[in-house]
Structure formats: structure tokens, C-alpha cells
Structure 1
Amino acid sequence: MSQPDTISVASPADFHVHLRQGPLAEVVTKHVRQGGFSLAYVMPNLKPPITNTEQALLYRAQLQAIDPAVEYLMTLYLSPELTPAEIRRAARAGIVGVKSYPRGVTTNSEGGIESYEAYYPVFAAMEEEGMVLNLHGEVPSSAETNTCVLNAEPAFLPHLRKLHAQFPRLRIVLEHATTRAAVECVKSLGDTVACTITAHHLALTVDDWAGQSWHFCKPVAKYPDDRAALWEVVKEGHPRFFLGSDSAPHPAETKATASPTQPCAAGVYTSPILLPLVAHLLESFGALDKLEGFVSTHGRAFYGRPVAENDRRVVLKRASGKAVGIEGYGSGPTHVVPFWAGKAIGWEIVEESSREEIS
């Protein structure tokens, strides 16, 4: 069966993206739209983190000032400052979710949590208000428990099962799954539990980041069979698995260098090339026909943000094989280099059209 030369995708949505702050945000925020996306679910792990409604609304206003064409869905950072009363205030203000980071496992997670039970009143309020709990699904490394970056995600899954059992109506998203164990766990739970998958985890395995700082991220890519599990669930078109890019811009100097006291930054940057890259990767494992569900309709359905009749559609066409530029964007402390730099992508964005224009 021949593959199409053009694809039309309804209003792509990225349900996990880091847009930073200050001058770096000025550079990277506009790349959401450049990469083909009209909705960004924004992470709160800034310095200091976004822990209350006022901070989230101010941050959204700052992002809107950079690019008002994107819909920004805002989140709060789960911390001791967050109370049930603040959850209700946030819900009334349109804040969509709360992000949980285990302490110390990823970028700006020093204030992350150590016990979920302490937050049960917050989760109960979230359940009542219809807010989403977003879980960075790893536990900290520990010699005592033989835990490291390669098994930190499977070790976290009992926490997910317990939270779902305790709050069955709370919508929970296990973020950036990397293992077959995580895929099988989410599939086994109810309709209120979903899972995001990144573009880079559809591409990478351990061999691709071991010794290659540009591919180092948290959670790290795992074994070929784990990547195969991600391919399989995308190819299945499972409605509770959808794109959350975890696009994480870091200054190039912090990715390219490391020292005995300062490791390279964890994160890869996919926003500027995201939709063409996802199309390229899905086609590589026979799932191109699942593109719209994966990047738009599945996530929008779970978050209650369905595609509207007048939403824009993004049209992709087969590309001539031009490589992604290695020069990157910005300069100095805002210089970022995208994932896939120096390699060709088989698709490119050619236009954005309304339903009426396409029909």
C-alpha cells in the first residue's frame, strides 16, 4: 500500500513542553508554532517554580506576549505550599494540572516531593475540581534499593497504581514513558489514567545516549524492547497514549560540556521540528496513519480540549531530505541546538489551513 505524499493534521497539541523564562523563553516559545503546534501544556519547573495561581497566570501572560497564537495550558508545581484551597482557586482561574517531580530526579526538581500520602488532601481537591495530576514517573537513585536511571521508572509504577486506587476519578498522566512495564501498567488501569510519549523516546535507546550528551535526558531512553513497546502502543492507536514532547531547551554549552563536578544538562529540544519529526518517526515503524490521533485527538479528548470546527489544520508534505541545521537558535546563554541536528527529516510543514479552506 502506497504512502501519502501529503498529510493534514487537525490542530496538533503538545501535552508536555518546557518554555523556560526570561531571554531563553523569548527564543524558544515561538518554536511551538514553528514546529506545527497550536496548544502547549506548559511545565512549571522554573526558578523559582510555579506554585500558585498568580504565578501561573503571570507566566501565561508572559508567554502570550511572545506568541499569542498558541493556547497555553498552565500547571502548578506540587510542593508543600500547594493546598486544597489553592487548587480550587487555580481551577476557577483555568489552571489545568499539577506536576509532581520526585526530588532530585530531573531538571529543577530539588523541591520535589518525597511522600505522596502527604498530598492526599490536595489530590482529593483536584479530583473534585477535575484537574489533572501529571507524574514524572521515576524514583531517586539509591544504592540501598539498587535503583538507577535504568530501572527508576519501573520502580515508580507501584506509586501510580496506589494513587489510582486511592483516587479512581482523578485524571492522572504518567509522563514520558520509556519502558514496556510503564506501557503495560497504564493500559491495565482505568480510563482516568493516560500516558505521554516523547518523539525522542520513539527514536533513542541506551546506545544513543551513552557517551552522547546531546541525547541525554531524564528519563533516559531504555532498551530496544522498551522502545518497541512504545512503537506498538502508538501503532495500536491506543486513545490513552499521546504526544507530550518534553521538549527541554538547554543552552548548548551546558549540553556539550561536562566536568567532574557538573554533568551535562538533561533534556533534548524538539519543539522547532516536532510535527515533521513525529511524522518521520511514525512512518519508520508503520504508524503514519495514527499521526493525527497521537498528536491531536487522543490528548485533546483526555484533557477535554477537543478540536473545534474552526481550528487550523497543519499540512505536511514529503521533504527532499534536507538536514536539520546544526547551528541552532539564539546566541550565548540562549543558544539552543535541536534534536536530530545534522540529520534529514522526511516531512515538512507547507501550510496551515482551516477546515473550510481544505474542503
Structure 2
Amino acid sequence: METLTIARPDDWHLHLRDGAALADVVHWSAARFGRAIIMPNLTPPLTTTDAVAAYRERILAARPAGSRFEPLMTLYLTDNTPAREIERAAATGFIHAVKLYPAGATTNSDSGVTDLRRCDEALAAIAEHDLTLCLHGEVTHPETDIFDREAVFLDERLAPLLDRHRHLRVVLEHLTTATAVDFVRQGPERLGATITPQHLLMNRNDLLAGGIRPHHYCLPILKREGDRAALLEAATSGHPRFFLGTDSAPHAQSAKEDACGCAGIFTAPLAIELYAEAFEQAGALDRLEGFASHFGADFYGLPRATDTLTLTRQARRLPDTLPYGDARIVPLRAGGTIDWSLASDPQTESA
């Protein structure tokens, strides 16, 4: 297969940051995706509808000329988010989800939730107003090994949450383990999950073997090869509750290559191409469209895309660094190659 045309995909988990770097980041996603669920963990976090609305306007202004890329916004959940703020968010029509970060779990999550039971009123409102709860599924207590934090979260936090709130639609983001795959498969129809390209293509050897590779460090952290294989099987299975979410998370090169480097992998410049590579390795390119373009929209109750995106089998080399505001950023596979490239794209000229 030398070309692959699919309905334009959507990214159901994306970080765009803010300020001077925003325009250097958003065009990569706009060239590949029609829509994206935008994460609210800015500094300060987007805990009010007004703050989310203002950020959305900045994203729209930063899009390339002529782009139709649509940011689907999220509200940042705290222990004290009132139900009336959930109602306000739902009324906008452009806020589609509420994001739950366990406090301290990842970048800019210090304002996150310390106890899910403190959020029961807000969680009930999320279900009542037909929003989606997107959650970072890891516990943060220090006695739990970092490689076990996802599995512990499923038992200690997510299972009771789903039992208490039986009408709540939940997306367990960036799955990393075979245990999480099984949990989603056995869960209710209102439980979906996103899978990143890095977790489909890499395991923890790619982070740690032969020396620490800071640009492969993300949270949840890369796991064992058996976990990677289980994720790839789930993504390529055609199961409608597993769908695309890049978790592309930009950080300046200096913030990654540091004594305490930031978690996050910048995949936006080659995101859909990486998924194509993973699906081709599994002999399942014919199933990429469902995973990338259909299942997420169906789960969120949004229309599927009617335009298309075409990939061609044309290898390209990734640059060592890219602009990022007044700094530089290192994309995944910097200096290396990817076998797939975007064909001419009428949506934007900024690929």
C-alpha cells in the first residue's frame, strides 16, 4: 500500500500550551486532525468556564490561515468545583469534557483532586449535563511503585467511581498496561480509553536501556513489552471503546534535558504517521480509520468527519529540534525517519 486515505482523524487528548509557543505547536495538529480534546493544565489551570473560553479564543487565533481545526475544550476539576460551574461549562457548547488530574500526578496537576468523594456533586453534574469525564488514571501516594500506579488506580479509584456514578461517561486516558486494557474491555459501555503512539511503539527499554532518554519520558511511564503488545492488540482489534489520543505534550528542550526533566513526549509533528506505522506493523492498516476517525467521535456523541486525510509511503527525516516560542523543542524520533508522510492537505498549508 503506497497511499492510505481515511476520514480525517480526531485527537482525543492533546496539549497545546499557551503564550508564544502556542502558534509553534497548534499547526502540527491542525494539519492532521479535524478536532482535538484540549487539556486544561495550564499555569494557572483552567478551572472556570471564562478561563476556558479565553483560552479557546487564543487557540483559534493561533491556527494557520484557513484552518478549520476545532478545539474541543475541557474544564479542570478540583476538590471544590461547584456543580453550577459544570452547568455553565455545558451550556457553552464548546466545552465537551471535564479533566480529572489526581493532585501531583503529572505536569501542572498540583491543583488536581485529592479525594474523589469531595467531587461527587460535580461528578453528578457532569453526568446530568452529558459531559465526559477525562481522567489521568494513576495514584500518587509515594509508597506505590511508579510502574504500578495505573493498576492501583483502577482498583482503588476508578472501579468505585464507576459504581457510585452509574450514568457518568468516562475516558481513561493514555492506557499503558495490559491490566488497563482488560479493565476497559470488561467495563461498562460508558467507559472508553485513549492510547498514545508512544505506548504502541515503545516500552521501558526505550527509556532506560543503554542510558536515560529524557525525550522518551512521559507519564504514565512506558511499561513492559507485554503491556505494549496488549495495547497494540487493543488498538487494532476494532473494539469501539479504544480510540486515538496522542497526549502530545510539548516542553522546551532545556526543560526535558534537566536534572529533574519534565514528563511529556512531543509527537504532534508525526502523530498520525506514527499510528500508521504501528498499525502496519500489526498488519491492521485497514483498521486505522475506525480507531483514528470513528470510535472517539461516536463515544463523545459527535458527528464523524466527512472530509479525508491521505498518507503516502514517503520516508521523511525529522529535524533535531523545532521552534517553541523563544526556545527549541525536540520531537519524538528527532533526527530519525518516519516511513509515512502527509499528502497535500487542503485544510492547512502549515504541515
Output the CA distance in 1 between the equivalents of 2:345 and 2:273: 14
Cα distance in structure 1, aligned partners of 2:258 and 2:159: 38
Partners in 1 of 2:26 and 2:346 — Cα distance? Answer: 22
Q: CA RMSD in A?
A: 1.4
Q: Distance in 1 between matches of 2:28 and 2:231?
A: 25
> What do the CA deviations read for 1:313-349 (whole angstroms, capped 9, x no partner)?
0011111x3321213234643x111111122211111
Structure 1 residue 322 corresponds to structure 2 residue 316:
yes
Q: Which runs of 4+ in 1 moved over 4 A?
A: none
The alignment's TM-score, normalised by the length of structure 2, stands at 0.93
C-alpha separation between the residues in 2 aligned to 1:203 and 1:276?
A: 12
1:179 and 2:172 matched: no
Q: Following the alignment from structure 2 to structure 1, what is the Cα–Cα distance between the partners of residues 121 and 247?
A: 28
Q: Out of 288, 293, 301, which is 2:290 matched to?
A: 293
Q: What amino acid is aligned across from residue 324 of structure 1 in structure 2?
A: L
> Does the residue aligned with 1:30 lie in a helix, a strand or coil?
helix
Alignment map for 1:1-359 (pairs within 5 Å):
4-34=1-31, 36-67=32-63, 68-94=67-93, 95-143=95-143, 147-158=144-155, 159-210=157-208, 211-258=212-259, 263-308=260-305, 311-319=306-314, 321-330=315-324, 332-333=326-327, 335-352=328-345
Task: Say which SS state the counterpart of residue 74 (structure 1) adopts.
Answer: strand
What is the deviation of 1:106?
0.6
SS where residue 236 of structure 2 aligns? helix
1:141/1:148 contact within 8 Å kept: no
User: CA separation in 1, counterparts of 2:289 and 2:141?
Assistant: 37
Letter in 2 for 1:13: D
Distance 1:59 1:331 in 2: 17
SS in 1 for 2:98: strand
Cα distance in 2 for partners of 1:253, 1:349 equals: 29
Q: CA deviation at 1:141?
A: 4.0
Which residues of structure 1 form unaligned runs of 5+? Answer: 355-359
Give, as a single letter, the amino acid of the residue that structure 2 aligns with 1:314: L
Give, as a single letter, the amino acid of the residue that structure 2 aligns with 1:85. Answer: R
**Equivalent residue of 1:246, what SS?**
coil
The percent identity for this pair of structures is: 40
Greater RCO, 1 or 2 (C-alpha within 8 Å, sep 6+): 2
> Are 1:101 and 1:113, in contact at CA under 8 Å, matched by a contact in 2?
yes
Note the C-alpha offset of 1:81.
4.0
Deviation at 1:249, TM superposition (A): 0.3
How much does 1:119 deviate?
Answer: 0.6
State the one-letter code of the partner of 2:146: V
Determine the C-alpha separation between the residues in 2 that align with 1:199 and 1:9: 18
- On the 8 A contact 1:214/1:268 being kept in 2, the answer is yes
Secondary structure in 2 matching 1:150 = helix
Look up the SS of the partner of 2:343 in the other structure: strand
CA contact (8 A) 1:141 1:149 kept: no
Q: Distance in 2 between matches of 1:10 and 1:45?
A: 29
Counterpart code for 1:256: E
**TM-score w.r.t. length of structure 1:** 0.91
In structure 2, the residue matched to 1:357 is: none
In 2, Cα distance between equivalents of 1:331 and 1:62? 15
CA contact under 8 A between 2:248 and 2:264: conserved in structure 1?
A: yes
Q: Which whole-Å CA distance do the structure 1 matches of 2:74 and 2:324 have between them?
A: 26
Q: 1:124: Cα distance to partner? A: 0.7
Q: Is the Cα–Cα contact under 8 Å of residues 329 and 337 in structure 1 kept in the other structure?
A: no
Letter in 2 for 1:243: L
